Amino acid sequence: ETGVTQSPTHLIKTRGQQVTLRCSSQSGHNTVSWYQQALGQGPQFIFQYYREEENGRGNFPPRFSGLQFPNYSSELNVNALELDDSALYLCASSREGRSYNEQFFGPGTRLTVL
């Protein structure tokens, strides 16, 4: 266990709907990164939040958005869901600082879009 929790575990949505995924970071960590892992692929970086600000973004459209709260937990929002959004969504928490350049992953949320 890494101390990183995600909810919900599984989610089924239909095309065009919106979804919110949640992540609680490990104690003492101030940075949350989100990744999308499609079936048979490695995780792909969506974006990162540090001190409540977006701190880097991967090649994902604007309908993928996020938030980080003062307690460093985070949300990933996806609007206008498409079939290709079906994937495992992972969040990873870490702490700023050269000595802490390791990201701890949560169990993921499995999103299925029908």
Partner 1 sequence: AQSVSQHNHHVILSEAASLELGCNYSYGGTVNLFWYVQYPGQHLQLLLKYFSGDPLVKGIKGFEAEFIKSKFSFNLRKPSVQWSDTAEYFCAVNAAPGANSKLTFGKGITLSVRP
Interface residues with partner 1 (CB under 8 A)? Answer: 2, 4, 31, 33, 35, 40-45, 48, 50, 55-56, 58, 90, 92, 94-98, 100-108
Contact 6, 22 (CB under 8 A): yes
Alpha-carbon radius of gyration of the chain: 13
> 52 or 96: whose CB is closer to partner 1?
96
Tokens describing residue 103: 């990201």
Nearest distance from residue 44's CB to partner 1, in Å?
A: 7
Which of 69, 70, 87 lies closest to 78, judged by CA? Answer: 87
Nearest to 29 by CA among 4, 53, 61, 7: 4
Q: Quote the least distance from Cβ 8 to partner 1, whole Å.
A: 15
Minimum distance from CB of 67 to partner 1 (Å)? 17
Closer by beta carbon to partner 1, 66 or else 106: 106
Q: Which is nearer to partner 1, 29 or 81 (CB)?
A: 29
Which candidate, 19, 12, 57, places its Cα nearest to that of 35?
A: 57
Give the dihedral of Cα atoms 89, 77, 26, 28; nearest 10 deg. 140
Which one, 20 or 107, has the nearer CB to partner 1? 107
